[in-house]
Chain A
């Protein structure tokens, strides 16, 4: 019974949760929003999703090949970036722009900084901001195909007449995956249940936007609700601001991140020249993340102080 046994340093068991599984959970959580986008904006939205995801995965493989690194497509992170980016684009966007955006997200933001885990800012958010600045199509949101287009406009850009029900169902103009609040919330609940994300960032982010809007709209709760259900807030707060790589890891760090992002969103929405500020807000907080992380580091047990 003296066969060769494996020698290794403890621990010898593992929780079983892998990066791949986490990424898969994010993809699953985004399915309702993707499906809602297809229903609301028509099948072309699925074409945008397919092209963007394929482009992201393809660029990741290509970049790894050129950089002589192992091809990490199996970790599904490029697919997550692709899906998130696609859901942030209007359904009528020219497909070549999707490909350029994917190239920017995967190669410029992620690959050149060292790949998964090394990018300082969120690839999907940054690519969206890049596209917003580079292509005029992004500022002109697509309109739902299943309702009378004349009555719909991006609520934040035009008027505030869209009803709460329409906001919840996503029956108004916007990007493919950002309009259907119900689908996004469903995905958020799934991520919470699966413990992929914690409540801190979404609650701090969405809660503060609600509060500031409530005050700015003259204590009008309906208007404040409309403010959190419209624009890119939900998809941003639930799926983008919770990105592990580019947001703080400690509970307090996450709360500061959420508060900061909501404050910038509020400033841009009410005082800025863009109708929507979620992407910029998250991007800005991404840059602050290393600082927030070092400010909120946990106290070490047994090093100073009598409490843990």
Chain B
């Protein structure tokens, strides 16, 4: 299959923690679990203040089809159900549990019985697993399609964001969980072609995935490819990865399944595998703790809902006051106002970045150097989009295809004038959506 790779940028790797196996931290004193750690409707709490819960107890059920149930991550008592301000500006309830320090598992937890498509789908639904690459899309929804349409299962092992190594640890330490999930999907979903897309800078993980390939292929009836890709950001972007692994273009506004693909992150697979084996839903998460202000960077397994500050404390504390603290990697991560922010299901890293690491050049006028449009993986013209947005010219924005933007941030990363390019793209997408809604309302 001959095609040229999409453009992108060479970001610094800074995978300082790749060789550090995940360490499980002690039970936190309290956890704050927001009811929205996924894309879709918030979950509905099913516990009330004063209830006793154990690790794995259901505390909230899915609030709709595109939603996911949530489980207690510590044993203890529900002390509060408060409002929690999400990073997207909306407020959802959050269940606060005071830990008894015992981490006693719920005794009703048992491996699910899986013997058909429906039982596997139900199990994935009950596991509370959402897209752990960062997007948090409920995984069971992806598979709620006519299974005959799935030609390829693309396993996203790219992990192209700087610093983050939690997926690398999954690939090294949780091969068996990944295998359990893949074999179950092969058997009950009829998956016939599995493709692992992984960046070339993860030598040990590539070896590990080759081993996984041999084990899965030995169970018969499917093809399995490990595709080693250049370490160019954003290799792990869903549409980028699908194009680079199976050569298919997901059209703007369409889903991978529209071209016969489903893409799943490797840690998502491992979480499903763990649930199938033990029945313990997604209540803890391996996160990479790094950044110039962290004393002892590493990978830590953290109960969902634990405050960032406790995790930093576990890593020896912070050596200096950070400039920014973010969820995820530095290219697409989200800043938090303070370190009381909890670890979410889809948190793969928390970074305390120093002023030096977050240093940006001064914002100056655009010199039309073309770096933004020559690095955009999707061939957009961010500088032209910014000019159209300044005039609120929705016709031009539509023509420039801003709705195709995946917000990877390459344009802003390379801009020598430090123009807010991807940031403007985001605003332009919203403006275009509002304009379309207005037109639809008129029609």
Contact = CB atoms under 8 A, between A and B. Distances in A.
A298 B374 CA distance: 9
Interface string B359-375: 11110111111100110
Interface in B6-65: 6, 9, 11-12
Nearest to A299: B379
B426 A13 contact: no
B148 interface: no
Contact of A21 (B335, B414, B416): B416
Interface stretch (B77-85, B107-115, B197-205, B319-327): B319-327
Contacts of A302: 239, 249-252, 254, 378, 404
Interface residues of B, number: 70
A17 to B, nearest CB: 5
Given A1-B339, A118-B365, A308-B243, A14 B333 contact: no
B324 A245 contact: no
B413 interface: yes
A12 B418 contact: no
Contact of B332 (A3, A10, A77, A245): A10
Contact of A308 (B6, B11, B312): B6
B426 A9 contact: yes
Contact of B368 (A4, A16, A245): A245
B339 A300 contact: no
Nearest to B336: A5
Nearest to B291: A12
Contact of A8 (B4, B335, B339, B407): B335
Nearest to A17: B416
A222 to B, nearest CB: 37
A297 B4 CA distance: 17
Given A1-B339, A244-B370, A301 B11 contact: no
Contacts of B353: 12
A12 B324 contact: yes
A250 B373 contact: yes
A308 B330 CA distance: 27
Contacts of B362: 18
A150 interface: no
Contacts of B361: 14, 16-20
Interface of A: 1-22, 72, 75, 77, 115-118, 244-245, 248-251, 297-303, 305-308
Given A16-B359, A18-B416, 9 more contacts: A1-B338, A4-B338, A14-B359, A22-B369, A115-B365, A117-B368, A297-B381, A303-B251, A308-B249
20 contacts: A5-B337, A6-B358, A7-B324, A10-B422, A11-B412, A13-B330, A14-B359, A14-B413, A22-B369, A115-B365, A116-B367, A249-B368, A250-B374, A251-B374, A298-B381, A300-B401, A301-B243, A302-B239, A303-B252, A303-B404
